[in-house]
Structure 1
């Protein structure tokens, strides 16, 4: 019996691309780095920022952490406000929260995730918000999901992870969770299928029905 549904944030609950990309461009300009095309820029959304900086610019951990601080300085003031809730999300949270405990599992630092949830008036739907820590010790999705399970006192077989990128699905599999991939975010069907998503939905309003199929 499933008891807990964990949601990713960026690309699953909210379209935060405008704020994230504006913050990334600001960071790159401050560092005097070449700004890649839009397709490459969008790959920054989802994984830990330090991982993307290493993959694309070859930054070591120390350089990446300095870059992340520049990003956060801008994001905390401007980028965090530039987002939209996907259609059907509110109705989905209302329905699922009547039968399950809902948690947030995001690669975004916890304080930012908490602020966003407050700004959206979604706090009452979630029993826990779990994200990366600001010093970079816990930033991979698998570690964040594990932290969520521990704090919510739930076994892996009692939880489902809902997300839009391979990192959500792989993080779920590493922890023994079932997973639902969504196609309206920043990923695509091929990515989610290759990562091993148990179910894939096109719209947020399809999530509750997909959840029920696991019980």
Structure 2
């Protein structure tokens, strides 16, 4: 296969660079308990890792907007102090980033996680310096969708769309990338699966971190 030519690679965070399921699920269960809701079993909450939380709370938990906003505040009570560090970098990520850096690629993060949380996590694990920009949710200024985060990162990097590709693990990454007009590599070591990737039109599918690096 011919190597991909894009020089700018955007990475999702949860499920792509880090395995954050434990902290995200624990924070959700904390929120459910504090808000006197039924506390779901861990196995039943795996779907919440990756999608924007507001979408999860309003659609999957059927909350109205006011309740969802309150749930976000309670969720973050736990996540910002404990949950964000109940997390680990996937095996092979640093080697992949080193490989891509050696190939001269410019890299950034585009995540639906709150931006300040993303920065703290990447710094905590010592991999923040690989990325020129760490872009995330900043709904206070209207940056509240994956597409808007990607657009912000591209603008900050002064990037041309034809020189950019997204790497993610869920349909939200694929949809966000396509909404902006860039292709997406979907990774199988995260929280999505091949069926989801094919359904939502991933441009490439990579099974491992090594496979991602070898595409370039």
TM-score normalised according to structure 2 size: 0.94
Say yes or no: does 1:36 pair with 2:40. yes
DSSP-derived class of the 1:43 partner: helix
* Distance (whole Å) between structure 1 residues aligned to residue 8 and residue 144 of structure 2: 21
8 Å contact kept, 2:8–2:107: yes
Gaps of 5+ in 1: none
Gaps of 5+ in 2: none
Tell me which stretches of 4 or more aligned residues in structure 1 moved more than 2 Å.
35-40, 134-137
Which residue in 2 is equivalent to 1:154?
159
Q: How many residues align?
A: 211
Say yes or no: does 1:74 pair with 2:103. no
Residue of structure 1 aligned with 2:132, choices 123, 127, 132 = 127
* Distance (whole Å) between structure 1 residues aligned to residue 32 and residue 90 of structure 2: 28
Residue of structure 2 aligned with 1:96, choices 100, 117, 121 = 100
DSSP-derived class of the 1:12 partner: coil
Say yes or no: does 1:183 pair with 2:188. yes
How far is the alpha carbon of 1:134 from its aligned partner? 5.3
Say yes or no: does 1:19 pair with 2:31. no
* Distance (whole Å) between structure 2 residues aligned to residue 190 and residue 56 of structure 1: 21
How far is the alpha carbon of 1:135 from its aligned partner? 3.3
* Distance (whole Å) between structure 1 residues aligned to residue 71 and residue 113 of structure 2: 15
* Distance (whole Å) between structure 2 residues aligned to residue 136 and residue 185 of structure 1: 29
Which residue in 2 is equivalent to 1:202?
207
DSSP-derived class of the 1:94 partner: helix
Which residue in 2 is equivalent to 1:55?
59
How far is the alpha carbon of 1:36 from its aligned partner? 3.0
* TM-superposition CA deviations, 1:71-97 (whole Å, max 9, x none): 111101100111111111000011112
Say yes or no: does 1:46 pair with 2:50. yes
TM-score normalised according to structure 1 size: 0.94
* Distance (whole Å) between structure 1 residues aligned to residue 44 and residue 154 of structure 2: 33
